[in-house]
Chain A
Amino acid sequence: MRYFVLALLPFLALFLQTTFFKEYPIQGVVPDVVLILVIFHAIFNGANKGTVYGVICGLWEDLYLGRFIGMNAISKGITAFVIGRLQGNVFKENILVGVIGVIGGTLLNSALLFIISLISFEIFNVDRSIFINLIYQGIYNTLIAIPVYIWYYRSSKRGVLREAGND
């Protein structure tokens, strides 16, 4: 059941990003719910599992987008690895862990996407809107992250996302 939910979550997140959230953008920016899920998975499961989940979720998004397949897989995988490494001894019941994780993860993921785009794209026009979008993305992701973190924490401790043997 846990694995089914873990697979269903990015599917639903992508669906929401393309449909529901397109109706409620902040300055044209939509939240990256898939990234939020990847960050939380890394926080609760560590660097290795987080990286695998990040690569799979990113690849799923890449296959949907159909352009530069692997770009999101690499950026989300690395983001999950770094977040997973840093989560070590933090008190995960504190919602600030989720909030700081999402802000840091959003910055890191965007920086990685920016670098990959500069290297890979034939044309990639840059101006200051890229940084303005990043600020809105950080704010929007944080707003979404708060309720999702509460649910994720509860599910990881007592609910459907609890690992077998973790009592």
Chain B
Amino acid sequence: MLTALILILVMKLSSSNRQEITGLEKLIRESYAPLQSGVDKLQQGMSQVGIKILGMKEMDERLQAEEIKNNLLSLENMQLRENKAEVERLRSLLGYKEAQEDQYLLEAARVIARSPNNWYKTLTIDKGADFGITVNMPVINPDGLVGKIISVSSNSAQVLLITDREMAVGAILQETRENRGIVEGIGNNGALRMINIPYYSLVRDGERVVSSGLSETYPPGIQIGLIKDIQKEASGLVLSATVEPFVDFDQLEEILVIKSFRGMEAQGSKGV
């Protein structure tokens, strides 16, 4: 009974709002990180062996270069699409305002492990405090928003995916500009849920959902997914919708941590 009471107390103290994990937790993470990294490298190595056997090394290098180029273009495209929507809106108001082009300071990292249980949707990456990564930094990949950093040790960090049941991200519908919605995880890597959409909203299936930037953690314009299956909530005042994420969370191998972005300094450290 005493053990249970102590555990309940520790559980309360170690909620997800902590800024730093304890030395013991860091030690445990650090004991796993090299092993997990080793397995990841082994898997990479094995695929390389296969490629060499087939005499396709050169083709693979070219493919990798094209893939990097493609990723960068996807990222640029994502920003351009949001900028285009903004420009169109400003033009329609016959005013002029300098476009806010977010500039990200990115850190690329490899996914070395996933959550050991099905209650949390987390990833472990191979970079941590030694690379300047801190808690609450947003994480993206060229397809869109992945999540945020929730804990850091020297050589690894844990990413909470937006599909986790604890996650909520302020979102905007890219065409209708409805910005009161919140995208939340439902513990399913193939679907998210957008809530709080006003009943009069012109939202429609296939509309693109991006981060609103109204929350304190994520920069605006990061794409999240596509609206499908809109439903009226019981109260009749708001709508909710399933959001099909752009990111394939089951296949994530590399991610990008946004170490800073324009406007980040003006915002706090905690947010949805």
Contact = CB atoms under 8 A, between A and B. Distances in A.
Interface in A19-71: 19-20, 22-23, 25, 28-30, 32, 34, 55, 59-61, 63-71
B15 A61 contact: no
A86 to B, nearest CB: 20
B79 to A, nearest CB: 29
Contact of A74 (B7, B18, B166, B190): B7
A79 interface: no
A66 B21 contact: yes
B148 interface: no
B12 A67 contact: no
Nearest to B43: A23
Interface string B93-116: 000000000000000000011111
B14 A29 contact: no
B239 to A, nearest CB: 16
B219 to A, nearest CB: 21
Nearest to B116: A17
Interface residues of A, number: 46
A2 B9 CA distance: 32
Contacts of A113: 119
Given A22-B114, A28-B188, A63-B25, A122 B32 contact: no
Chain B interface mostly: mixed
Contact of A18 (B4, B115, B166): B115
A117 to B, nearest CB: 7
Contacts of A71: 11
Contacts of A55: 3, 7
Interface string B22-41: 00110011001001100110
A61 B25 CA distance: 10
Interface of A: 14-15, 17-20, 22-23, 25, 28-30, 32, 34, 55, 59-61, 63-74, 77, 113, 116-117, 120-127, 129-130, 133, 137
Interface of B: 3-4, 6-18, 21, 24-25, 28-29, 32, 35-36, 39-40, 43, 112-120, 122, 124, 150-151, 158, 165-168, 184-191, 193, 250
